[in-house]
């Protein structure tokens, strides 16, 4: 079996609180092969974005990696200093953030922002970097790239700003691209265009892609494998086809039912009752037990481990412990 490009093992992330540690991520484990698309799905607050920021080494104080490993292409990232991380970040690993208007610097031209990584990581001259920036803007479907390269973010539409973010992320031909809810603020038509663009570029460049979303419907059209997160843990992991045909965890089943049009005969849109637990709350059993229609007494007493239930499939639920 080929060694994965990225391997995350037992990753726990937390912060100090009144002499204790509040862990927001707990024992997150997954891997991604070269050229694979892995989706990470779950509600807001489940730990999706924090997982990506941990990989990028962008955790802000007071958050810290408490334990675990993040190995990328043979290098243990959690042991690297800031200078060493900067050589990898934006170069071999890139990220598209949720909000392009807050991620782009409003006082710099978009061409300068795309060029920066190429000058720093690839050693290109400013002229060469600008020429490549124009090429990248054309690649991501921005019309009149020779004009747009000299414009500021506020002069572009939301869809164009997101395309600029993609161009920035692709500037140094990364091995791994992390897309964190890249279509959230866009209308449906633009969303579809951005997803098609990402898939097309991923196939052409044969790069690995981690796609983070709250929408399982989006992943059904693009992911090879899906990791479902809840309360800072991985609670189910499976190839996309298997997850689509047979979601096993009650939470995953709820996510599928919440997709508009998925529940035939239902006039009202389904929603999972309750809310994601606060990381500060000391939860004794399964994090989903208070919202689960199948919960038993043992679900409230102990936390189910993440167990293999077949080839490339894992689930953390006592319904499947045999």
User: What residues are paired with 11 via a beta bridge?
Assistant: 28
The band of 98, judged by pLDDT with boundaries at 50, 70 and 90, is confident
Give the per-residue pLDDT at 312. Answer: 84
Q: Is the pLDDT of residue 321 over 80?
A: no
Query: Does residue 1 lie within any of the structural domains?
Result: no
Query: Domain check: are 144 and 19 in the same one?
Result: no
Please report which residue ranges of 68-187 form alpha helices under DSSP H: 82-88, 100-103, 110-121, 126-139, 145-148, 158-170
268-302 tens-digit pLDDT = 778 898 888 888 888 889 999 999 999 999 999 99
Query: Domain check: are 203 and 270 in the same one?
Result: yes
Query: Domain check: are 53 and 110 in the same one?
Result: no
188-219 tens-digit pLDDT = 888 888 889 899 999 999 999 999 998 888 89
Domain count along the chain: 2
In terms of pLDDT, which residue wins out, 195 or 149? Answer: 149
Which domain CATH number covers 218? 3.40.50.300
In terms of pLDDT, which residue wins out, 317 or 218? Answer: 317
Domain boundary among 154, 173, 192: 173
In terms of pLDDT, which residue wins out, 62 or 262? Answer: 62
Question: How large is the average pLDDT for residues 9-30?
Answer: 94
Q: Is the pLDDT of residue 1 over 60?
A: no
Kind of pairing, strands 93-96 and 233-239? unpaired
Query: Does residue 97 lie within any of the structural domains?
Result: no
Query: Does residue 309 lie within any of the structural domains?
Result: yes
Query: Domain check: are 31 and 43 in the same one?
Result: yes
Range of the domain at 60: 6-92+174-320
Give the per-residue pLDDT at 137. Answer: 95
Query: Does residue 48 lie within any of the structural domains?
Result: yes
pTM exceeds 0.85 for this model: yes
Give the per-residue pLDDT at 194. Answer: 86
**By percentage, how much of the chain surpasses pLDDT 90?**
72
- CB crowding 25-47: b at 16 or more within 10 Å, else e: bbbbbbebbeebbbbbbbbebbb
Give the per-residue pLDDT at 260. Answer: 78
* 141: three-class secondary structure by DSSP: coil
């Amino acid at each position: 079996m080929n060694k994965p490009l990225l391997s995350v093992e037992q990753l726990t992330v937390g912060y100090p609180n009144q002499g204790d540690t509040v862990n927001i991520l707990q024992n997150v484990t997954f891997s991604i092969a070269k050229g694979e698309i892995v989706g990470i799905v779950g509600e807001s607050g489940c730990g999706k974005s924090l997982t990506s920021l941990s990989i990028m080494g962008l955790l802000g104080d007071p958050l810290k990696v408490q334990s675990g490993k993040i190995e990328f292409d043979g290098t243990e990232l959690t042991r690297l200093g800031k200078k060493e991380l900067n050589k990898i970040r934006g170069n071999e690993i890139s990220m598209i953030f949720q909000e392009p208007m807050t991620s782009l610097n409003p006082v710099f031209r978009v061409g300068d922002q795309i060029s920066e990584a190429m000058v720093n990581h690839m050693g290109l001259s400013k002229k060469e970097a600008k020429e490549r920036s124009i090429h990248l803007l054309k690649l991501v479907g921005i019309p009149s790239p020779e004009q747009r390269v000299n414009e500021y973010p506020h002069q572009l539409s939301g869809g164009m700003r997101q395309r600029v973010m993609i161009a920035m992320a692709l500037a140094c031909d990364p091995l791994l691209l992390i897309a964190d809810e890249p279509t959230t603020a866009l209308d449906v038509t633009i969303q579809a265009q951005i997803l098609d663009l990402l898939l097309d570029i991923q196939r052409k460049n044969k790069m690995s892609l981690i796609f983070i979303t709250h929408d399982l419907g989006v992943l059904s059209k693009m992911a090879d494998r899906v990791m479902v997160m809840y309360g800072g843990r991985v609670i189910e992991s499976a190839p996309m086809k298997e997850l689509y045909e047979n979601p096993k965890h009650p939470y995953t089943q709820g996510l599928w039912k919440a997709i508009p049009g998925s529940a035939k005969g239902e006039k009202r849109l389904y929603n999972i009752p309750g809310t994601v637990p606060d990381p500060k709350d000391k939860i004794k059993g399964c994090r989903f037990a208070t919202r689960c229609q199948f919960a038993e007494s043992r679900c409230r007493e102990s936390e189910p481990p993440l167990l293999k239930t077949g080839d490339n499939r894992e689930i953390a639920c006592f319904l499947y412990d045999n």
